[in-house]
Structure 1
């Protein structure tokens, strides 16, 4: 047996003992026989070292394979094998390093074309475009002629990175290199153009393909059909199906699935359903039957589109046809139910999975976890994690991040911190996304020092601070009023990348350490959106405009969010003409009006009472398929009410109800005030009854109706409504109840006024004791001194028990808390200095006080001149 065969056999026997295999290889290599060959042993030992991650030994292997004297052409084959295997294993940096050193040592020995192809393909796969360019130039310099496969690799790399023009140039150069494009070449180009949404340009490729006498295959056709369906060009997609048949190709289930997938992604479920139905029913036409992929595509489309009834029917159909039996189908249905908040149904699906012997995977559990956290069922979420561990499924980064995000969304940062610590203890290390969730929440809660500490830990833990992190910091600084510091960081990012965060202080100095990722943290559109929003919010519009110009200079194209920020700011300031100039530029740059655009403009026009123009925008919203919300309607309602056009306002209000848009309390308040202002109290009462039917017995609604009735002189109705509010235990802080008592006394309805005082007292309401004064005064005028004395005594008791305030703060049981006045006193001076004209109440109070002696009512001493002055 030769030495070569012995070494190969020994290496294969010791693949699980890499250290021994490496020793055997080195021993043979140190004293080879004359006939010894490395061609077979180098690939084996290389793969053993890669699997064992013995990277240092790989470098040593490379050095030992390099001879010290001139090599013949065949002697470099082991080096080529080493580089090839490294590249295919994803170790591109090491492969290129060894390849480039080899090219410097042996420039007269050009590598074979197959090695260039392997390196180019691996570079494209790893998105290392810098290697692609270098390899192609080196290949041409070495005199190695590329083949069609080489050009296909280059074209695919350029298409994948979005450089379609360069890909087309490379395609055109194929003729110069005597390479003929094949069907794969055209397929790659067609896929690149279609993926970029350039279906029309892609058709030119199809025409060019026919000029080479090449017939498109099913893959090419399916690519075009899918692209046109996504763009909404369904007629052209249908024509391509016909053309496919004319070329002798029968559309298969993949063709139809491509069409259905594209339509489902575009939300065109009716068209997708039509194709799906034809596949099920029209077997006579030669249409393929739907497979499991087809059913899953439709199920996912229905779930994402919120068409749960259709989805449920489809699930039943899948069960009958025996195709509802894989984990993917269950997870799709599970996701649909959770998104709709149907957690009980989702739990039943999980139970069904277990009953049928199909164990939920980590993805299944994470779906349920997401639903529980969004519904604030954190205790259930914790139990689910425990169940996962019992079932042998360890929670992963997604599981913990979902729980952490749930706590952060509801402001429970301390519990989120606990999740982070638990995550690390469980050896499930958080990623940058996880840290960013917590960082955003800390800034939102104003916990700046804790946010700084987290950034420090991220740096120490080796987490790469990305552009999202930088934007979170910038947004957080804007929200706490440190706008200039945020701008300073954003400006510094152009030069220093993420290291610009170091400007905040020494806490961030460690973030500067790794400068390799600086280019990944250049300001983006989100960065400028945050800064512009902060400047506009602070009223610094001129500076915001300069930032907008700077953004354009950096070739960052503004979106509707940036434009809406300016439009909203101008409308808020009443600068409507400026807002419409921004709108014009927005449309010129191809940004469509969004929901926020219309609402901001309607708000601005409302401040100028330009009702006709507001209706025009409302109609345009409908034409664009945007449904106005309660904010939109309220702005128009407000303008109509202020203009005295209550009939038009009521008509618009009816429209809201018909369209299923629930008016809020402010909507009703506007209408009630408008009708009462015109003396239409019956109409106002009808609106009030509707509001109670929708919102229930809210204090705000009762208060506005009561106050407007009182203002309009509807004393009986106001009194009735107030008593109703008292019977329901509503807070009376916004009710002008003292005016009601005063008006009743002036109308000599002392009995009604006394009843109100008795109800307020007996039900534990905290109200202004001065409300007694007009009743005391009225009773004395009527000669009922005994009644006046009783009321005065009760008033003084109330005043001594707590503060006197006109603002009632209600506790959880509907009873108000008494407050001291701004001097910390119990409000005696407010009562005693109240000027009611006759002075009769004062006399009653003095007599009652004298009869009490030194009781609790005199705990607070007052100078004599207070009484004299009064």
Structure 2
């Protein structure tokens, strides 16, 4: 570094780089003999250091400060000669030390290093570190060997300080390998590391997870009579505990003759928690009490957080109880983490209890923790149980009292769960309450909640929320309109759905393919083919490309209105057959427009063929699915089995059933129902009972329709005892007989001449909350009249009069009169 007049720019650079870290005397600017400062030296003399100090530099301060003898160190004559000669030896170029004059005996860099280290009593302050950084003393460019030798020749003590300083600098930078190199240079020059250097070396090896090397350094410093400081010892014990070597940590403390304090024990507990040694961590906590070393809030928090991070939630409860008992309270952030952890584990009850513990510890539950709990309960795909949802509602009520709001994700999730539990009014109120608290819902939240209400068939609430959204200046988007249109379509309210469609077009909201498809499908199901075609044309003219769902809806719609041929033509064009006539309307987008049919497309066609009793074509289509690589599902198989059964082809139905099982599709209640229905019609009760038994074996419980069919079938062949046993088994399985079941059983008893059981069963069904209907009364009255029990018939007629008068009374009065 050059400090001549020709190098004033370099001096300015040095000052800027150092900022306020160095004073003028730190850089070697000291008073000259006889009270003459450098800036005041006679510039006419060739021996003067002209230009060394620039009087315009701001960092010099007032001249009175510079002249203050109490703040300035004087040079001796010998020191001044070294300063003069070293500066004279410096070259004119910034940073160059190649040019030198004959008078110099030490370079400028060496001189500056000497002076900065001399000026610091501890040899390891902020100033020397920053100065060495300016000199480029890093892992890429270490201090040159010749500079070190120059410093040694001038001041051996300073060289020792410098090398120790460099080692510690690299240690603090985490460069343990460079620190080792500097340690070698230190020893090569005949010096020993200082205590501070050894501590720094131990720390850097611990940070690098090199415990064995740290032990070697510790042994060397121990041989020299040095002890580790408290911080280094704490780091050492922490690292040992972290790898489970806690006994060695205790031995190390004893070797160092250090009395363990709260800090040391806390670091050891932290290490044990990282190693998941929680029993040992608790033992150390008890050890602290036994040696009168009181754990502080940091100790407990570290232990609690350690257990929390490792999901040891049972221990967390015990530690939290200990903390509160000792008056060492967790921070709000720790409480937030605890609530989150217990929510993730599904222990929502304890998570809610933590709110009370927060208040006990002086922490008022706020925005974060309320959203964590309610989000944890309502943010899962599965809806929470009613008791868990009740906890969310309690927390929500407390949150409102505290003036806190939910975030928009939790608003929609909470509303979804409330709708799923049937609490639609509450879900609607949540939206309004959040708005009253200043929470502004966006279009996404409104749309989600409207969707939840629509899925729960609460169209009135959805409509009110939709109107409120518009009043608040929120413009509905295509998703909002599509949800409403789809809901009204499913409810059969085509006119209202069309009005929504027209409204969105007026407001400049372009319908998407889903919007068009659901409305087209609804028109077709209502047999309004012209309206569907008109809407499809509008869809194409607006540039909305139909997808496989649209074409599937067209095929299904045409099948349902009996236009099976047109459905087949649309299917053929989907497959790329351009020669198919009469369906050009649906394929104006491109002449080569090909859309692969999916399983729903095939299912619609199979169902259409089966309903038209063209089951062989349906079966051919099933084979085509396999050829095209489209795997069939149980819906397609069910439709085909039902189709074969309805046309009396039971053997073919059984073949499809076998194929269905081979493909890994378990038969469901509809599959079994179709088979049982056909078997009963063919009076093959033995096979029907086997199918029923198979249902129960495969954990597919029959419904009331199947049970009723079986009971009726048994009664028709005179097996009333078996039918009644089946009826009792039905109730045991949790399937309650309905009025049709009772009527079938009563009719069976009547035909078998068991009038007493017939009348008894009539009284039982009323007692079990199943009211007889007109058919039931007609069956019983007929059997009573046939058996000559006219008084009973008259009494039943009077009962019937109270409910079914006068519609069905006249005919029965004539019957009774004829018997009389």
TM-score normalised over the length of structure 1: 0.49
- Inter-partner Cα distance in structure 1 for 2:670 and 2:628: 26
- Inter-partner Cα distance in structure 1 for 2:567 and 2:754: 54
Q: Would the alpha carbon gap of residues 586 and 357 (structure 1) be closer, same or farther in structure 2, given more than 3 Å must change?
A: same
Q: 1:438 aligns with which of 519, 540, 554?
A: 519
1:512 equivalent to 2:591? Answer: no
- Inter-partner Cα distance in structure 1 for 2:452 and 2:373: 26
1:547 equivalent to 2:621? Answer: yes
> Secondary structure of 2:575's partner?
helix
Q: 1:308 aligns with which of 378, 386, 397?
A: 386
User: How many Å apart are 1:376 and its aligned residue?
Assistant: 5.9
1:346 equivalent to 2:427? Answer: yes
Counterpart contact for 1:703–1:732, Cα < 8 Å: no
Aligned partner of 1:727 in structure 2 is: 802
1:451 equivalent to 2:567? Answer: no
Q: Would the alpha carbon gap of residues 393 and 639 (structure 1) be closer, same or farther in structure 2, given more than 3 Å must change?
A: same
> Secondary structure of 1:504's partner?
coil
- Inter-partner Cα distance in structure 2 for 1:254 and 1:631: 54
1:595 equivalent to 2:669? Answer: yes
User: How many Å apart are 1:468 and its aligned residue?
Assistant: 0.7
Aligned partner of 1:386 in structure 2 is: 467
- Inter-partner Cα distance in structure 2 for 1:254 and 1:291: 24
- Inter-partner Cα distance in structure 1 for 2:689 and 2:713: 11
Counterpart contact for 1:397–1:429, Cα < 8 Å: yes
1:369 equivalent to 2:450? Answer: yes
User: How many Å apart are 1:648 and its aligned residue?
Assistant: 3.0
Structure 2 unaligned regions, length at least 5: 1-274, 278-305, 314-341, 355-367
The alignment covers a number of residue pairs equal to: 475
1:686 equivalent to 2:760? Answer: yes
- Inter-partner Cα distance in structure 2 for 1:254 and 1:417: 57
State the Cα deviation string for residues 518-540 of structure 1 (Å, max 9, x = none).
24x22222221111221122222
User: How many Å apart are 1:601 and its aligned residue?
Assistant: 2.5
Mapping of residues 282-361 of structure 1, within 5 Å: 296=375, 298-301=377-380, 304-305=382-383, 307-316=385-394, 325-361=406-442
User: How many Å apart are 1:633 and its aligned residue?
Assistant: 1.3
Counterpart contact for 1:703–1:735, Cα < 8 Å: no
- Inter-partner Cα distance in structure 2 for 1:584 and 1:430: 45
Q: 1:634 aligns with which of 683, 701, 708?
A: 708
Aligned partner of 1:674 in structure 2 is: 748
Mapping of residues 469-480 of structure 1, within 5 Å: 469-480=550-561
User: How many Å apart are 1:695 and its aligned residue?
Assistant: 4.6
Mapping of residues 387-536 of structure 1, within 5 Å: 387-495=468-576, 503-505=581-583, 507-508=585-586, 511-514=587-590, 518-519=593-594, 521-536=595-610
Q: Would the alpha carbon gap of residues 605 and 305 (structure 1) be closer, same or farther in structure 2, given more than 3 Å must change?
A: farther
- Inter-partner Cα distance in structure 2 for 1:648 and 1:357: 68
Counterpart contact for 2:749–2:758, Cα < 8 Å: yes
Answer with 594-603 or 560-569: which moved more. Answer: 594-603
User: How many Å apart are 1:736 and its aligned residue?
Assistant: 4.4
User: How many Å apart are 1:363 and its aligned residue?
Assistant: 3.9
1:705 equivalent to 2:784? Answer: no
Counterpart contact for 1:324–1:330, Cα < 8 Å: no
Counterpart contact for 2:379–2:413, Cα < 8 Å: yes
State the Cα deviation string for residues 193-241 of structure 1 (Å, max 9, x = none).
xxxxxxxxxxxxxxxxxxxxxxxxxxxxxxxxxxxxxxxxxxxxxxxxx
Q: 1:716 aligns with which of 785, 791, 801?
A: 791
Q: Would the alpha carbon gap of residues 577 and 505 (structure 1) be closer, same or farther in structure 2, given more than 3 Å must change?
A: closer
User: How many Å apart are 1:445 and its aligned residue?
Assistant: 0.6
Counterpart contact for 1:535–1:544, Cα < 8 Å: yes
State the Cα deviation string for residues 44-77 of structure 1 (Å, max 9, x = none).
xxxxxxxxxxxxxxxxxxxxxxxxxxxxxxxxxx
- Inter-partner Cα distance in structure 1 for 2:523 and 2:560: 12
Mapping of residues 5-24 of structure 1, within 5 Å: none
Counterpart contact for 1:707–1:735, Cα < 8 Å: no
- Inter-partner Cα distance in structure 1 for 2:397 and 2:308: 24
- Inter-partner Cα distance in structure 2 for 1:378 and 1:281: 34
Counterpart contact for 2:370–2:396, Cα < 8 Å: no
Aligned partner of 2:334 in structure 1 is: none
User: How many Å apart are 1:670 and its aligned residue?
Assistant: 0.5
User: How many Å apart are 1:710 and its aligned residue?
Assistant: 2.7
User: How many Å apart are 1:470 and its aligned residue?
Assistant: 0.6
State the Cα deviation string for residues 735-792 of structure 1 (Å, max 9, x = none).
8416524434xx3xxxxxxxxxxxxxxxxxxxxxxxxxxxxxxxxxxxxxxxxxxxxx
User: How many Å apart are 1:374 and its aligned residue?
Assistant: 5.5
Counterpart contact for 2:781–2:793, Cα < 8 Å: yes
Q: Would the alpha carbon gap of residues 708 and 622 (structure 1) be closer, same or farther in structure 2, given more than 3 Å must change?
A: same
Mapping of residues 550-699 of structure 1, within 5 Å: 550-692=624-766, 694-696=769-771, 698-699=773-774
- Inter-partner Cα distance in structure 2 for 1:409 and 1:594: 25
- Inter-partner Cα distance in structure 1 for 2:307 and 2:670: 44
Mapping of residues 197-216 of structure 1, within 5 Å: none
Counterpart contact for 2:785–2:793, Cα < 8 Å: yes
Q: Would the alpha carbon gap of residues 316 and 616 (structure 1) be closer, same or farther in structure 2, given more than 3 Å must change?
A: farther
User: How many Å apart are 1:581 and its aligned residue?
Assistant: 2.1
Counterpart contact for 1:574–1:607, Cα < 8 Å: no
User: How many Å apart are 1:543 and its aligned residue?
Assistant: 1.7
Quote the RMSD (CA, aligned, Å): 4.0
> Secondary structure of 1:304's partner?
coil
Counterpart contact for 2:378–2:414, Cα < 8 Å: yes
Structure 1 unaligned regions, length at least 5: 1-243, 258-270, 284-288, 748-870
Counterpart contact for 2:352–2:391, Cα < 8 Å: no
- Inter-partner Cα distance in structure 1 for 2:695 and 2:437: 50
- Inter-partner Cα distance in structure 2 for 1:734 and 1:503: 59
State the Cα deviation string for residues 413-470 of structure 1 (Å, max 9, x = none).
1222111101111222211101111111100110011111111111111111111111
Q: Would the alpha carbon gap of residues 282 and 394 (structure 1) be closer, same or farther in structure 2, given more than 3 Å must change?
A: closer
- Inter-partner Cα distance in structure 1 for 2:624 and 2:410: 49
Counterpart contact for 1:692–1:698, Cα < 8 Å: no
Counterpart contact for 1:315–1:324, Cα < 8 Å: no
> Secondary structure of 2:576's partner?
helix
- Inter-partner Cα distance in structure 2 for 1:282 and 1:309: 14
Aligned partner of 2:196 in structure 1 is: none
Counterpart contact for 1:300–1:332, Cα < 8 Å: yes
- Inter-partner Cα distance in structure 1 for 2:576 and 2:704: 46
User: How many Å apart are 1:361 and its aligned residue?
Assistant: 3.5
Find the structure with the greater CA-based Rg.
2
Aligned partner of 1:737 in structure 2 is: 812
- Inter-partner Cα distance in structure 2 for 1:431 and 1:596: 35
Q: Would the alpha carbon gap of residues 688 and 449 (structure 1) be closer, same or farther in structure 2, given more than 3 Å must change?
A: same
